[in-house]
Amino acid sequence: MKTSSRRAPANAIDIVRELRAASSFRAPASLLPEVLRRVGLADLYWKLESPVGPVYVAASRAGISMVSRARSAEEFERRFESQRGRPISPATSRPPAAVRALMKNLKCRDREKLQFDLRGLSEFERAVLMKALEIPGGEIRPYSWIAREIGHPEAVRAVGTALGKNPVPLLIPCHRVVRADGTLGKYSMGGSRIKRALLEVEEVDPATIEKLASRGIRYLGNEERRYYCYPTCGGTRSLVLSNKIPFHNEKEALAAGYRPCKACRPAA
């Protein structure tokens, strides 16, 4: 065979050897997190300003999966991965508009647009959190209200525990759930002082609630329409004590001919 090259003509064995030796490529580092994110197995996170200072907010395809205060992104990532056992990476996109709006103003109504990824929680815990989500900004409810509303009236302490484990505080407003005796109770995201500050931001007046509670007053009745409510029902604007009838308990209100309010449902 005539060839103008001085090198020997290529033979099949050399070609196969060269093909086998062709280096394989390393997948880019972005591939795994991106795949996991797309199938809903990984989460992304943002750092945002909130009423309690900077917080990290994580989300999977299913929804918001964690809200947490941390000293650094690394600390947050470690916490997330050890608690959830799945990878997380910083988001490059902007956080969902509803999250941004809520972190600026916890009372805004964008909460309804949010979805939450509460995998790993029990059915009871999820029920507690979803119920807490219904409490409007500017209002508070006792732990016993959640217990009754989700059909476990005896499980008041368990409600407290479930709220203490809320993986998405602020966005699911567990700070709006307080003790029936008028004290604010615990708060997982920095204690009762922070809880009080959050309620003040939301224009709940904890001092007034405490004053009522110290006199044993749990409900206020609307004399004209003959129904009774939790003191914060309808927001603080209706918390005008002068034209309200105070009640110490349900029985007292019923005996006076008052029915429970349909909005805040102080009784079944």
Q: Known catalytic residues?
A: 174
CB of 121 to other proteins, least distance (A): 16
Residues numbered 42-81 forming contacts with other proteins, rule: CB under 8 A: none
* One residue of 22, 93, 224, 237 binding other proteins per CB under 8 A: 22
Given the complex with other proteins, which of 16 and 241 has the nearer CB atom? 16
Determine the Cα–Cα distance for residues 19 and 21; give it in Å rounded to an integer. 5
The full length of the chain comes to 268
Kindly write down the DSSP assignment for every residue of 230-265, as one continuous string.
-TTTT-GGG--GGGEEEESSHHHHHHTTPEEPTTT-
Determine the Cα–Cα distance for residues 47 and 67; give it in Å rounded to an integer. 10
Given the complex with other proteins, which of 5 and 92 has the nearer CB atom? 5
CB of 23 to other proteins, least distance (A): 9
16 near other proteins, rule: CB under 8 A: yes
CB of 24 to other proteins, least distance (A): 4
CB of 125 to other proteins, least distance (A): 20
Determine the Cα–Cα distance for residues 66 and 84; give it in Å rounded to an integer. 10
Instruction: List, in sequence order, the alpha helices (H) in the chain.
Output: 12-21, 31-38, 73-84, 97-104, 123-132, 143-149, 156-164, 191-201, 206-214, 250-255
Query: One symbol per residue from 77 to 106: x for binding other proteins (CB under 8 A), - otherwise; what is it?
Result: ---------xx-------------------
32 near other proteins, rule: CB under 8 A: yes
Strand partners, 64: 59, 116
190 near other proteins, rule: CB under 8 A: no
Which tokens go with 85?
A: 């056992």
**Collapsing DSSP states into helix, strand and coil, what is residue 104?**
helix
User: Do residues 51 and 170 touch, judged by C-beta distance below 8 A?
Assistant: yes
CB of 14 to other proteins, least distance (A): 9
7 near other proteins, rule: CB under 8 A: yes
Rounded to whole angstroms, what are the CA distances from 187 to 27, 42, 124, 175?
44, 28, 19, 7
Given the complex with other proteins, which of 25 and 215 has the nearer CB atom? 25
Given the complex with other proteins, which of 30 and 183 has the nearer CB atom? 30
Under the rule (CB under 8 A), what is the footprint of other proteins?
3-7, 9-12, 15-16, 18-20, 22, 24-28, 30-32, 34-36, 38-39, 41, 86-87
